[in-house]
Amino acid sequence: MNSTFPTATHTSTRVDSEPSTFIFPNLLDDFQYPLRQNPHCDPVSRASEQWLLNGARLVEPESTAFLQMDAGALTAACYPDADALHFRVCVDFLNFIFTIDDWMEFGIIDARGARESCISALRDPINFHTEELAAKMCKSYFSRFKMTGGPGCTERFIQAMDLFFIALAQQVDDHAQGRTLDLKSYITLRRDTVCCKGVFALIEYAAQIDLPGEVVSHPVFVAMEEAANDHLSWVNDIFSYNKEQSRHDTHNIVPVLMLEQGLDLQGAADYTGRLIADSVKRFEDNRGILPLWGEEIDKQVALYVEGLQNWMVGSLHWHYDCLRYAGENGHVINQDQTMKLLPKTAL
């Protein structure tokens, strides 16, 4: 359960100009979890995309950018065994959360106001009345979630979304003030801004299980969730870094490491690669000491742990394929490991 950090091996050096490229960490070669796909992906994902386009009232160029993300492919890899009904709720949620993240990042909606209306919608999706688009979409997907979601799973999802909105509000404030967090504070905040706790609750929902409190509060179980969360966060950060550095956005582990560890860009990228590998090791180390709770509960725990594993491998491969993160060059990154930096926008 220890989460010590690797030793930094690259230090910053004085240079006459900013780097134009960096070598991307090799993330696939030693990652052996099986990648599977949900057979309901194509028809359900297309229906979900239309649901989001209508519910969010997206127009060009936002609608094309949304469709290029292909959240259905991510959902299919992360919930490969979900039936069509449960898969639809999962893909609706992922389409929703990516859209909400963009809306808050670009100031289209206020994080604190969205928290109030969306959490109210989740608490009572049938009787809560609103005209706000985000909350109306919450009512839609969560009214279907509650038809089969267990009470523990339901409450964990709502709590996760509350933490997500709180963390996003802080992220927006940090960006507005030009503030870069220290590593410990960043990791704590990132575990909520990435919304893994919400999608992990969907593992229970999709598998139609409801884990007891004694399991979800156990320190080894928590450590496994944190390791999976960190893996997803840092994979997303290394893929997001190029676009975010062009916008002077420092809510990313790469600039956090550069500032705190005194690293140059290449050193921070290498360090991030080691953190990603370390998160897999932490996950497996804790899997090896996971307690037993009895046959029925152990079956549920095994399904949930497999779900965490599916998220780790599914998200990694999706980032390489996704136009949102790797652009047209995802497979090129995988082959020669070089990322060409985008020019910075004017402040």
Task: Give the DSSP letter string of 65-85.
Answer: HHHHH-HHHHHHHHSTT--HH
Q: What is the mean pLDDT of the chain?
A: 92
Helix or strand holding residue 51 (H, E): helix 41-56
Q: pTM score, two decimals?
A: 0.94
Coil, helix or strand for 34? coil
Out of 55-59, 100-104, 116-120, which region has the weakest mean confidence (pLDDT)?
A: 100-104
Tens of pLDDT along 60-100? 999 999 999 999 999 999 999 999 999 999 999 999 999 99
Q: pLDDT band at 6, cuts 50/70/90? A: low
d(CA 88, CA 46) in angstroms, rounded, equals 10
d(CA 217, CA 247) in angstroms, rounded, equals 39
- 320 and 28 Cβ atoms separated by less than 8 Å: yes
Q: Is the pLDDT of residue 187 over 90?
A: yes
Q: Is the pLDDT of residue 169 over 60?
A: yes
Q: Report the percent of the chain where pLDDT is more than 90.
A: 80
Tokens for 328, please give them. 């047209």
d(CA 323, CA 316) in angstroms, rounded, equals 14
- 239 and 22 Cβ atoms separated by less than 8 Å: no
d(CA 191, CA 164) in angstroms, rounded, equals 9
Q: Is the pLDDT of residue 8 over 90?
A: no
Q: Can you say whether the dihedral through the CA atoms of 99, 104, 106, 107 is positive or negative?
A: positive
